[in-house]
Structure 1
């Protein structure tokens, strides 16, 4: 297999996503010139990449798609559904082909069989108006080229003449482009004219860093030479061969060489994620080694060498600062915007809503919020479930919405925001909402709760049964929902990422799901506690406060214990009992209590001792311990001992 295939797959996925975004943007606003140019550039670059390999059917499809976009750029065909639908079909086909190409280095037989149908879509009614035109008929000159053609009579018209219209990007200076230097590289320059693209601004509004130039030129060089000059900025230039010249007829847009450079110098580089993971692993080992210096300082002090202990602690503080900076830099390298996941949904929503016959608008906000790469990638499946749930169960058909005096088009919101060291992602619809009575009846029928218990629960509590495994109120099974594998899988996925999932729903108004997730898998601040002879770590983020409680303040309530803290009754549990281990009887008159949060409740957990605080990198459980409830992971202490990190919410439930 060609060694360039992996690089091709990476670039192809990016170009497919860019083309898809641009086409959907054009569908919403057919007059958006920027999207049309960007889509043309994506198809053109993708075609150039495919041309390096033996993917014949794909190259033909992309060439035909590029031709259609080229015609749209010069106004020969209209940008509407008859153009966008087949182009999206081609993009989806290319997208589905990339995985197979990555594995085998070639197009699969099944993919090749689909190519003729797609080609017929592309060459259908859109090209029929030009069917009578001869294959070699010259492309009509636009007005600007005709004006330059008149100027050609004033110059020496010997040999071939090329008309060039160069519109530098307003931000071209920041990309390192010099329009005057670029145009001067044209060979045999015969005519040059400068004008402004827009009316000159008022003096107080003038921005010297924005380019407002429009450059037109006539060159006596060849078409290939002109294309080579502008090969890095094909979207900013149009080149025509003037009538009567001996050069080969030019196309409406420059057919640049298959160079995959863009119009901007990239400030990023691709790095295998495994290398970043290795750096995080090394940083974690440094944290463990750093923590060992504290133990070493204590040993030095125990031997009466206080000066050495102070020097060790001073070095510990400096190394701690450097390691924290290193770890922060490495984790930042793993951060990517949520856009990488969010941008996959507009096309999916468009196709699914068309199948369901529901008109709706997908509103995406906060896609620039960043999170760890693993979290962003793993979010696709749970968000896919929630969006499909909103499409199938939430948004009503147009006729039903009109009867309820709602707008005919539904509204589906996908919104992200950052809250401290967490991100919140909301998936909300303005549909029919969840009926608590239906959920209550379904829970009783499935034996999840008795009639008496169901009557005692509030509507908000009863809605939580939709997260029960296999629970569904759908009356029929479709390929979208109704199979009972939805919301419980969503909650499990979110929980696996260290997050929580909340649900709110109002009949007739809609349903909202809120995912709360950590931004990254970073260093964890732990409180090390002792139960008997064993030590355990509890994340400080789980601890609301620590409390020294007199044993006489503990009161018996039914079968349990509780105490009063600032006029609130707090249940009291013993960590030793939660871990099902024997704890030696303590004769102390005081209890060491950690007040932790479990869901919406506050619980007191007593321990034998609070030993220390530690900053560590927690590793998930593996092997025989994988999936053990109440254990979040393990970490190494400075003395080399393994410390179990507890998940307090799982333990107390």
Structure 2
């Protein structure tokens, strides 16, 4: 049962997101039939999944929602905001209930109590539409049903006649369905015709396990006798009550539209832990491959030149294969940013309504792919940035009109791939940031003295918005004023190995640009020696290396520095940062790594630079998890464990 619940949760979240996307699209384009059909299928499938469990009133609520969409599909009710609002409330309720269902197997008390409110919303909507439905004394019969009616004899048996259009799923045989057997069980069958959904294939391409039939039939009614025959495949069948010749009565069509399947790539759900395990194995292969290099050197030193060459040749071949394996495995972890981006339209809709601001959220580049861990961890920082634009950036319509702007604001969420990085931009066309207001807020909150604030350039003043606890909101609300925001965003992006830049213009808007690696690939490390031990430093953190004469070091206040191309670079010793004894000779030239620390460059002295290595860094776990300045561990080719340092964290 636990596995069944887990599978239900996965599918339910997908269906909830699909329904939400389609309903939002319908609100913008009420005539879009494709989105209407897709929303109906999502709710219908979700109701079927819920029916497998004892989830109280959830199935009934979804049934009412399905009825509303069914009426909309039949043209009996209009698609507008008054229809979409209660349906979105149902979708949100189901989404909020999934976690409790996974943990306990049933709805929480709070979620259970909300069901009655949703019943009221849905029933109220249906009641409001009843007047419109009553006015419609008849519903136009589809053309395919009228064509079937023309084939009936003018003098037939009295009573209700039902037109049937049955389009079986192409893979229905694998579901245990037999379309012709289903039709043969119908009572009072009066007409039957078969056609194909696609041109007949060549004999060599014929697939006997794929169904491409369209079955049209006419049989005696009433509908209540026929519906049970199709209860398991309602999305593949249309049933329409036909008028008899001379009968002026036109009955309402019960529309059960067949599911239109688009061409999709074959996909298979795989537990992400299995992919992660493959990456670990690929990393171990890299370590084993690196071990061949010292083995070849050892063979060469013992006069075994031919053996050394064979080992070197094997090393090159294994290196090529391991690189291909690792590339394939990392590609398996890539997912589109759409999985994160698609959560924002509904959030923006709800938040903008609460704030009383009219705006459009424009999303571009959602098909760009990145590593699963990056995509899943982007939601929180992007949520902060979008809320920041909603609350602080976008003005109310009156203020916008006074500034000669359109009444509706605009937030752009755009992703682009640039080389081995993904660039995500969050831009609003709001009021922008005022450096003077930021200075005043920083002084009021005790982050700066008034003298220091007055001398601070605008560029540096704007960077204060990333300071912990900084907020320009005058009061605490659901969205802002708690001092938790852009500093959290910056830390989150840095943890993912990315950077965050901001551009703003007073009166024009603000743009945040996130640059992140597309995948967590092999790390290029520089191995250094300090105090007789070896440590790894990511080469991406190192700007350059320098051999610095001891006389070039100058004391500055309590520290030391040196001049590099007319720029003063602070100098630190890695031994001091690691709190281990220094062993380097006092008279020797210093071996210095010039590294990045935020926007600055800092020199770090090491005893020796040993080698470069390509490895897979593993994060710390157990008692070592969270140790300051240690990014993780890796294995060298000789089997020794190497600590990988986070120099920026050590320096801070």
- Tell me if both proteins adopt one fold, taking TM over 0.5 as the criterion: yes
Q: How does 1:147-162 map to 2 (within 5 A)?
A: 147-153=147-153, 162=162
Q: Deviations over 1:402-457 (max 9, x none)?
A: 11111101111111112222222222211111211121122223332233332332
Contact 2:410 2:428 in 1 (8 A): yes
Paired residues of 2:76 and 2:133 also in contact (CA < 8 A):
no
In the aligned structure 1, how far is the partner of 2:132 from the partner of 2:627?
A: 73
Structure 1 residue 338, shift from structure 2 partner: 1.1
Q: In structure 1, what is the Cα distance between the partners aligned to 2:190 and 2:597?
A: 76
Q: Which residue of structure 2 aligns with residue 201 of structure 1?
A: none
The CA deviation at 1:534 is 2.7
Do 1:163 and 1:216's aligned partners in 2 also have CA atoms closer than 8 Å? no
Q: Number of residues paired by the alignment? A: 619
TM-score relative to the length of structure 1 = 0.84
Which residue is equivalent to 1:90?
Answer: 90
Tell me the equivalent position of 1:573. Answer: 571
Q: Is the 8 A contact 2:5 2:105 kept in 1?
A: yes
Distance 1:505 1:132 in 2: 51
8 Å contact 1:139–1:251 — kept in the other structure?
Answer: no
Q: Deviations over 1:211-249 (max 9, x none)?
A: xx99794345998999989977937x633243469xxx9
Listed one character per residue, the Cα deviations across residues 1-34 of structure 1 (whole Å, up to 9, x for unaligned) are 5642111111111000000000000001101111
Residue 122 of structure 2 corresponds to 122
| Cα distance, 1:330–1:155 mapped onto 2, change above 3 Å | farther
Q: In the alignment, what sits opposite 1:190? A: 191
| CA contact 1:593–1:605 (8 Å) conserved in 2 | yes
Q: Does 1:276 align with 2:275?
A: yes
| Distance in 2 separating the partners of 1:550 and 1:497 | 33
Structure 1 residue matching 2:120: 3-state secondary structure: helix
- Show the counterpart of 2:641: 642
Match of 2:146 in 1: 146
Distance 1:261 1:132, change over 3 A: closer
TM-score when scaled to structure 2? 0.84
Asked if the contact 2:438–2:461 (Cα under 8 Å) also holds between the matched residues in 1, the reply is yes
Can you list the C-alpha shifts for 1:607-646, whole angstroms capped at 9, x where unaligned? 4433222110112234554444443222111112222223
2:396 maps to what in 1? 397
d(CA) in 2 for partners of 1:166, 1:500: 55
| 1:90 to partner: Cα distance | 0.6
* Local SS of the residue matching 1:479: coil
Matching residue of 1:104 = 104
Deviation at 1:383, TM superposition (A): 1.4
**Secondary structure of 1:482's aligned partner:** coil
Given the superposition, is the C-alpha separation of residues 641 and 148 from structure 1 closer, same or farther in structure 2, using an over 3 Å criterion?
A: same
Partner of 1:204: none
1:509 — aligned with what?
Answer: 508
Cα contact 1:362–1:413 (8 A) shared by 2:
yes
1:77–1:126 Cα contact (<8 Å) kept: no
2:526 maps to which residue? 527
Q: For 1:378 and 1:508, how far apart are their aligned partners in 2?
A: 32
8 Å Cα contact 2:550-2:588 kept in structure 1? no
Specify whether residues 195 and 302 from structure 1 end up closer, same or farther in structure 2 by C-alpha distance, changes over 3 A only.
Answer: closer
Q: Deviations over 1:100-156 (max 9, x none)?
A: 11111112222222112211111114434537989xx99845142234323323698
* CA 1:543–1:183: 2 relative to 1, 3 Å: farther
For the 8 Å contact 2:83–2:125, the answer to whether it is kept is no
Q: Contact (CA 8 Å) 1:233, 1:263: kept in 2 or not?
A: no
Does residue 254 of structure 1 match 2:256? yes
Distance in structure 2 (CA, Å) of the matches to 1:233 and 1:61: 19
In 1, Cα distance between equivalents of 2:452 and 2:146: 83
For 2:585, the equivalent position in structure 1 comes to: 585
The aligned runs of 1:313-462 (5 Å cut-off) are 313-462=312-461
Paired residues for 1:45-64 under 5 Å: 45-64=45-64
Conserved 8 A contact 1:186-1:221: no
1:583 is displaced (CA, Å) by 4.1
Q: CA, structure 1 residues 250+404, in 2 after alignment: closer, same or farther (shift >3 Å)?
A: closer
Find the aligned partners of 2:100 and 2:553 in 1 and give their Cα distance: 66
Displacement, 1:75?
Answer: 1.2
Following superposition of structure 1 onto structure 2, how do residues 538-557 of structure 1 map, counting pairs within 5 Å?
538-546=537-545, 549=547, 551=549, 554=552, 556=554
Rate the CA distance shift 1:558–1:185 in 2: closer, same or farther, 3 A. same
| Partners of 1:333 and 1:86 in 2: CA distance | 38
Q: Judge conservation of contact 2:359–2:408 (CA < 8 Å) in 1.
A: yes
Displacement after TM superposition at 1:545 (Å):
4.1
Distance 1:478 1:219, change over 3 A: same
Question: For each residue in 1:18-66, what CA deviation from the matched residue of structure 2 results, as whole angstroms up to 9, or x when unmatched?
Answer: 0000000000110111111111111111111112222241111111111
Contact 1:353–1:360 (CA under 8 A) maintained in structure 2: yes
Q: 1:143 to 1:625 in 2, by over 3 A?
A: closer
Structure 2 residue aligned with 1:206: none
Counterparts of residues 280-291 of structure 1 (less than 5 Å): 280-291=279-290
- Structure 2 unaligned spans of 5+: 199-211, 246-250
Q: Which residue of 2 aligns with 1:609?
A: 608
Which ranges of structure 1 fall in alignment gaps of 5 or more residues?
198-212
Question: Cα distance 1:151–1:639, how it changes in 2: closer, same or farther (>3 A)?
Answer: same
